[in-house]
């Protein structure tokens, strides 16, 4: 018995050491980015990870070179609107696929899911052509509208809605509630874990979106953070220390969002895995 207990203890210690090593390996690029953001430019390529002199002025220097606050606003504005619209449209489509009965529903849903197999780069040219015809190039609407619909979001919320007892719909219908009232007052509040999970994924994905804003936006005042940092890197001749300072400021909101919503995110994923 003692040998078994000591063997289990050793395996547990080894597993913890291995996990700590993996965690440090994952954190190493982020730590390098943070430390480099405080270095002078001539020390960036040195092997010493710690700067000889700390330069916190690198951070306000970024704002003096580029309109970083404007890029922040654009990224938050576009990501927030896309998150709101995508949650709304996905919830409405999920309700139609999960709670309403109509001819060809399952076939349409399978076709809808099949779009998940199509890479985003394939649909980029058709989307760009549509934006040209609608005269939405170089505009907030052009950045928001194409991303406002999601087959993945529809699938995720449909799985949550399928777990809600149909008797709730029937009781609401007997009270004279329309389909809209059933959706808004009954189904949507009960799908809150799925909505929170989808909103987190959507915001994070669109906050760091790169290719679509790159081809759509031409004006400087509409650039999002990834595009603004790309131009910053190319125009000011690779000032890596300032670029790392901008990257740290770019990633901080996502870290805060994840820390604040971690409990809801894990709960939503667990419910989807168990009930779906």
For residue 74, give the CATH number of its domain: 1.10.3720.10
Residue 145 is predicted with a pLDDT of 92
Residue 201 confidence (pLDDT) above 60: yes
Residues 17, 103 within the same domain: no
Residues 31, 68 within the same domain: no
Write out the DSSP string of 127-171: HHHHHHHTT-TTSHHHHHGGGS--HHHHHHHHHHHHTS-HHHHHH
Point out the least confidently predicted range of 114-118, 137-141, 167-171.
167-171
Average pLDDT of the segment spanning 65-78: 92
Q: Which among 41-55, 140-154, 222-236 has the top mean pLDDT?
A: 140-154
Residue 276 is predicted with a pLDDT of 43
pTM metric for this prediction: 0.84
Residues 204, 100 within the same domain: yes
Residue 202 confidence (pLDDT) above 60: yes
- pLDDT greater at residue 269 or residue 264: 264
Average pLDDT of the segment spanning 102-120: 88
| pLDDT tens digits, one per residue of 82-94 | 999 999 999 999 9
Do the beta carbons of residue 155 and residue 110 sit within 8 Å?
no
Residues 130, 264 within the same domain: yes
The verdict on residue 44 lying in a domain is: no
Q: Which band of pLDDT confidence, cut at 50, 70 and 90, is reported for residue 271?
A: low
Residues 17, 69 within the same domain: no
Residues 32, 64 within the same domain: no
Residues 170, 229 within the same domain: yes
Residues 146, 68 within the same domain: yes
Residues 25, 121 within the same domain: no
The verdict on residue 42 lying in a domain is: no
The verdict on residue 50 lying in a domain is: no
Residue 74 confidence (pLDDT) above 60: yes
The verdict on residue 268 lying in a domain is: yes
Q: Which band of pLDDT confidence, cut at 50, 70 and 90, is reported for residue 268?
A: low
Point out the least confidently predicted range of 46-55, 108-117, 192-201, 246-255.
46-55
Residues 27, 164 within the same domain: no
| Phi-psi label, residue 100: left if phi above 0, alpha if psi -120 to 50, beta otherwise | beta
| Domain range for 193 | 58-275
Residues 110, 175 within the same domain: yes
The verdict on residue 183 lying in a domain is: yes
The verdict on residue 53 lying in a domain is: no
The verdict on residue 48 lying in a domain is: no
Average pLDDT of the segment spanning 264-270: 64
Residue 46 confidence (pLDDT) above 90: no
Do the beta carbons of residue 185 and residue 172 sit within 8 Å?
yes
Residues 29, 104 within the same domain: no
Question: To 10 degrees, the CA torsion angle through 182, 187, 190, 196?
Answer: -130
The verdict on residue 190 lying in a domain is: yes
Q: How many domains does the chain have?
A: 2
């Amino acid at each position: 018995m003692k040998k078994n207990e000591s063997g289990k203890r050793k395996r547990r210690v080894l597993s913890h050491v291995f996990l700590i090593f993996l965690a440090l390996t994952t954190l190493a690029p982020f730590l390098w980015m943070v430390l480099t953001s405080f270095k002078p430019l001539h020390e960036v390529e040195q092997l010493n990870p710690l700067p000889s002199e700390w330069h916190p002025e690198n951070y306000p220097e970024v704002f003096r070179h580029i309109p970083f606050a404007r890029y922040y606003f654009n990224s938050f504005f576009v990501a927030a609107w896309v998150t709101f619209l995508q949650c709304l449209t996905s919830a409405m489509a999920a309700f139609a696929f999960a709670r309403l009965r109509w001819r060809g529903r399952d076939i349409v849903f399978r076709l809808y899911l099949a779009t998940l197999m199509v890479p985003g780069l394939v649909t980029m040219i058709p989307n760009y052509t549509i934006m040209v015809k609608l005269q939405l190039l170089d505009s907030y609407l052009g950045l928001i509208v194409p991303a406002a619909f999601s087959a993945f979001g529809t699938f995720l919320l449909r799985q949550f809605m399928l777990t809600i007892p149909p008797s709730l719909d029937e009781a609401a219908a007997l009270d004279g509630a329309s389909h809209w009232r059933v959706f808004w007052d009954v189904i949507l509040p009960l799908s809150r874990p799925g909505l929170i999970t989808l909103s987190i994924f959507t915001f994070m994905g669109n906050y760091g979106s790169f290719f679509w804003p790159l081809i759509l936006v031409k004006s400087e005042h509409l650039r999002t953070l990834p595009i603004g940092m790309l131009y910053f890197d190319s125009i000011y001749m690779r000032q890596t220390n300032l670029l790392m300072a901008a990257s740290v400021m770019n990633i901080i909101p996502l870290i805060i969002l994840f820390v604040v919503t971690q409990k809801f995110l894990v709960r939503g994923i667990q419910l989807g895995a168990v009930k779906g």
